[in-house]
Structure 1
Amino acid sequence: MHLRNRHREYLDYRDLASRQPSLLPFVYTNRFGGTSIDYANDLALRELTRCLLFEFYSLSFWKIPDGYLCPPVPQRVDYIHRMADLISRSPGSVPHGQGVRGLDVGTGASCIYCVLGVNEYGWSFIGSDTDPVALASAKKIIKKNHLAQVDLRHQPDASRIFSGVLHENESVAFCLSNPPFHESSEHAARAAGRKWQRLGRSEASVEKNYQGRDTELCCAGGEVGFVTRMVEESLEEPVRSSCVWFSAMLSRETSLKSLLKLLDSCGAQRRVFEMRQGKMLKWVLAWTFLTYQQRDVRAASWERDNGSASSIVAGKGNRTSDADLTSSAWTGDLISETAEAGASQMEDAVEKPAKRKRHLAVPVEDVVEDAVKKKRKEKTHK
């Protein structure tokens, strides 16, 4: 986990339950002598999420409707910390305050990224969703916790990501998204069944834990299809220049490799972060079309709006330019970060310039012929 993640240390469920008694009925002693909860029980997961938010993030209310996905807090806040490092002007100096605004695409009934981003860094957020019921739940969470810097917006067109959400001349520091993973509800059900069978669970356990609306779990093309649409829209103005860093969390390495090729073909700068929580492995893929200088100007404006950036890690060096980043030894392979190598070490997440397509003003055949003639002439002179 990220170095700033509050959940890096071992969690004693019984100790947590001593301060959050509603969790106690779900806590048991496992075969190793430690405490745990039944992760196949959706009620236990919801109560754990609520207690973590109350204990670590000072929320006074959190509840989502039945049938909606319950987010794992440690993983979600890890994503927030990755975004914090991504928009920093220098390693360890993270911009705080409402001058930094993020866009949560598909904020969901839990509004989890907005809640965590506000509590960790004091940022402001736009949270969008196509589901009116999910938005109603999110609004209740925001209102009861007095999170006035969160602006929830309905996306009326499910085929669009940014259009219809961002207003004219509106800009954000970053967008994040946890896209639907599956291509269909049938695929989602089969995947859930295989997961619990591997863990030796019964069909009853599968039914008990299988939660999530179709809009949360499935979309055309799965996560690759969704993020492809994000990339395509991010190429269009005014979206292209209204967001500094676009990003999405991915569950499959094959999805990541496919999308990296797409971004390279679009001329985007991109970064990849690997996130591990127990046996679970996810990737955050981020991309931008702004130059280093353009991003630096935006970051400077956030610092002016908020006073100054908060220094997280002392003793780090000066800001790093694109030239410095691209001159390091990163080869474009997937970035693997250990628990100790948190995202405060941004050299582990080097930007790789995309290979730009060459736009020719003359037919390709003419260019090839000229090159052949030049080669022959060089041989003649030799």
Structure 2
Amino acid sequence: MSTKMNSKSAFKSPNYDDEVNFKELALQDPDFADIINRNKGRFSFQDPSHVMQLTKSILKRDFRLEMKLPDDRLCPPVPNRWAYVRWIQDLVDSTSKDFGKTPQAERDVIGIDVGVGASCIYPLLGCASRLNWKFFGTDIDKKSYEYALHNVTSNNLDYRIHLLNTSALHGLLPLDALKIDTADFTMCNPPFFESRQDMNAGLSEKGKNPNAVCTGHEVEMITEGGEVEYVGRMITESHGLGKRVQWYTSLLGKQSTLPVIVKRLEELKCHNWAVGLLLPHATTRRWVIGWSWDDLRPANHVARPAEGGPAKELLPPPTCYSIDTSKQNEEAISDVMNKTLSILPLYWSWNSATRSGIGWTNGDVWSRAARRKRKAQEMESKSLHETKPSTCPDDGTIVLAFRVTVLDGYAEVHSLKGSDKVLWESFCAMLKRQMAPTGGQLAGKIETGPKKRVQVLQRQP
């Protein structure tokens, strides 16, 4: 019986926080049951045939995908790979150019997988879970490319996934060779090791890990300079491509790689990056890093791991500022927030039902200096109404975009776009003063006071 995807079928995201229940999977998939029955009810992570069937059975059950894999190429663990795809989805969802007006699951998104491998698992998972996603994939290994092509066509996804067998001459991010102008993201599972000796040492360190079996070929596992050099080359290429890709990302096999990569980004004046920790409770931990040469800001829970994260200096600045309103009525605070932002010459759209709103500005319009300038303009018959924007432009004039949400006991201010840290902190400080019980808005005017640096806090969703 075919399990090929129906593009109109609903998708339910699987949760792999807990280990896969083998007994349950055996009841759901005859092929997996056969493996268990032939081995007296046992499953061995040291047996490549067992591990391969586990991957195939999970993909069939949870994603309705069929897969063919060679014995001498990597067999991808589904929970780990799906965690990376989910992180990418959150990253893209929280940095949409229309600031979330279009339902994220309905957005047209283009991704590039650098080194799809024989499984082509990332494009397959991405397309299985998001019906409007399309992928371009590359691989330098001819055998892996051929198997990947088979897996794409056998699942009827060749109209959404396009593959290219590349060479060293193409580079790692060959947008022109792929014949695409722009993409929403790139992703990559790079070769982790710099030599066979390094690979053997790395695998032996995981000897006590139940997932220790490795069927990967050297072309998938080893590269000159290891993953540090590989991702470093990707960063250099991305710097040349700039905003043609919204987010460049890569999996990292070693936590020690993270500070080297962050330092490299800082050297190139990249001010917008994100760090993720996949399956933090799993035995094998994997890190992901994303960077952008644009200024759409990801949500805190995407860019800053809540648990088990790295040193704070390796994380990007928080994008969420929390204002304590516990001593005030939620409805009154909502009214103050809306009125405060409504009278400023900036774009502001408020939803009273959800007590949240989205706004943007092309500069400082709340400080004393800005108010004096505006007053001078009014005296020259340039009214405030004429300077207040009514729509969201697409010409790059937005210097700060934000979302404000009033919740029980606190209000959250999220930075959606912008690279001016001082402007962001000034805006948050102004709102904090307005939300105070004796704030300027309650007195009938906006009172900004002297500029003060504010602490932007991290609050988990």
Task: Give the alignment's TM-score, normalised by structure 1.
Answer: 0.69
Displacement of 1:81 in angstroms is: 1.1
Choose 263-272 or 152-161, whichever is displaced more. 152-161
Displacement of 1:349 in angstroms is: 9.2
Q: Residue in 1 aligned with 2:46? A: 40
1:263 and 1:118 map into 2 onto residues whose CA distance is 30
Residue 296 of structure 2 corresponds to residue 292 of structure 1: yes
Bigger share in helix: 1
1:69 and 1:348 map into 2 onto residues whose CA distance is 38
Alignment of 1:132-211 (within 5 A): 132-147=142-157, 148-157=159-168, 160-163=171-174, 166-167=177-178, 170-196=181-207, 198=208, 209-211=213-215
Alignment of 1:221-232 (within 5 A): 221-232=225-236
* 2:252 equivalent among 250, 253, 265: 250
1:119 and 1:325 map into 2 onto residues whose CA distance is 38
Letter in 1 for 2:416: S
1:317 and 1:100 map into 2 onto residues whose CA distance is 28
1:329-363 deviation digits (Å, cap 9, x = unpaired) = xxxxxxxxxxxxxxxxx96799xxxxxxxxxxxxx
Residue 88 of structure 2 corresponds to residue 83 of structure 1: yes
What secondary structure, in the 3-state scheme, does the structure 1 residue paired with 2:415 have? coil
What secondary structure, in the 3-state scheme, does the structure 2 residue paired with 1:146 have? coil
Letter in 2 for 1:212: G
**Residues 278 and 322 (structure 1 numbering): CA distance in 2 closer, same or farther, change over 3 Å?**
same
* 1:50 equivalent among 33, 56, 64: 56
**Residues 157 and 67 (structure 1 numbering): CA distance in 2 closer, same or farther, change over 3 Å?**
same
Q: Report the RMSD for the aligned CA atoms in angstroms.
A: 3.4
Residue 126 of structure 2 corresponds to residue 96 of structure 1: no
1:151 and 1:290 map into 2 onto residues whose CA distance is 26
1:278-306 deviation digits (Å, cap 9, x = unpaired) = 2111111000001239xx9xxx99xxxxx
1:243-285 deviation digits (Å, cap 9, x = unpaired) = 1000001121210011000001111111101112521111110
Displacement of 1:185 in angstroms is: 2.1
Contact 2:175/2:181 (<8 A) preserved: no
Displacement of 1:95 in angstroms is: 2.5
Q: Residue in 2 aligned with 1:120? A: 129
Letter in 1 for 2:154: K
Question: Which consecutive residues of structure 2, in runs of 5 or more, have no partner in the other structure?
Answer: 1-11, 298-359, 361-391, 394-406, 426-456
1:42 and 1:318 map into 2 onto residues whose CA distance is 50
Displacement of 1:62 in angstroms is: 0.7
Displacement of 1:213 in angstroms is: 1.1
1:176 and 1:193 map into 2 onto residues whose CA distance is 27
Displacement of 1:93 in angstroms is: 7.8
Q: Residue in 2 aligned with 1:364? A: none
Letter in 2 for 1:47: Q
Displacement of 1:105 in angstroms is: 0.4
Residue 26 of structure 2 corresponds to residue 21 of structure 1: no
**Residues 325 and 37 (structure 1 numbering): CA distance in 2 closer, same or farther, change over 3 Å?**
farther
Residue 276 of structure 2 corresponds to residue 273 of structure 1: yes
1:107 and 1:255 map into 2 onto residues whose CA distance is 22
Alignment of 1:359-374 (within 5 A): none
Letter in 2 for 1:211: T
Q: Residue in 2 aligned with 1:70? A: 75
**Residues 180 and 289 (structure 1 numbering): CA distance in 2 closer, same or farther, change over 3 Å?**
same
Letter in 2 for 1:182: F
Displacement of 1:12 in angstroms is: 1.6
1:226 and 1:36 map into 2 onto residues whose CA distance is 39
**Residues 15 and 4 (structure 1 numbering): CA distance in 2 closer, same or farther, change over 3 Å?**
closer
2:172 and 2:140 map into 1 onto residues whose CA distance is 10
Displacement of 1:132 in angstroms is: 1.4
Letter in 1 for 2:60: F
Contact 2:13/2:129 (<8 A) preserved: no
Instruction: Considering Cα pairs closer than 8 Å and 6+ residues apart, tell me whether 1 or 2 has the greater RCO.
Output: 1
What secondary structure, in the 3-state scheme, does the structure 1 residue paired with 2:126 have? helix
Choose 143-152 or 318-327, whichever is displaced more. 318-327
2:419 and 2:238 map into 1 onto residues whose CA distance is 26
1:354-381 deviation digits (Å, cap 9, x = unpaired) = xxxxxxxxxxxxxxxxxxxxxxxxxxxx
- Aligned positions, number: 297
Contact 1:107/1:127 (<8 A) preserved: yes
1:182 and 1:81 map into 2 onto residues whose CA distance is 25
**Residues 167 and 192 (structure 1 numbering): CA distance in 2 closer, same or farther, change over 3 Å?**
closer
1:26 and 1:126 map into 2 onto residues whose CA distance is 35
Q: Residue in 2 aligned with 1:129? A: 139
1:51 and 1:80 map into 2 onto residues whose CA distance is 19
1:165-224 deviation digits (Å, cap 9, x = unpaired) = 65455211000001100001232123223322x45x9xxx97xx3311111101011110
**Residues 158 and 16 (structure 1 numbering): CA distance in 2 closer, same or farther, change over 3 Å?**
farther
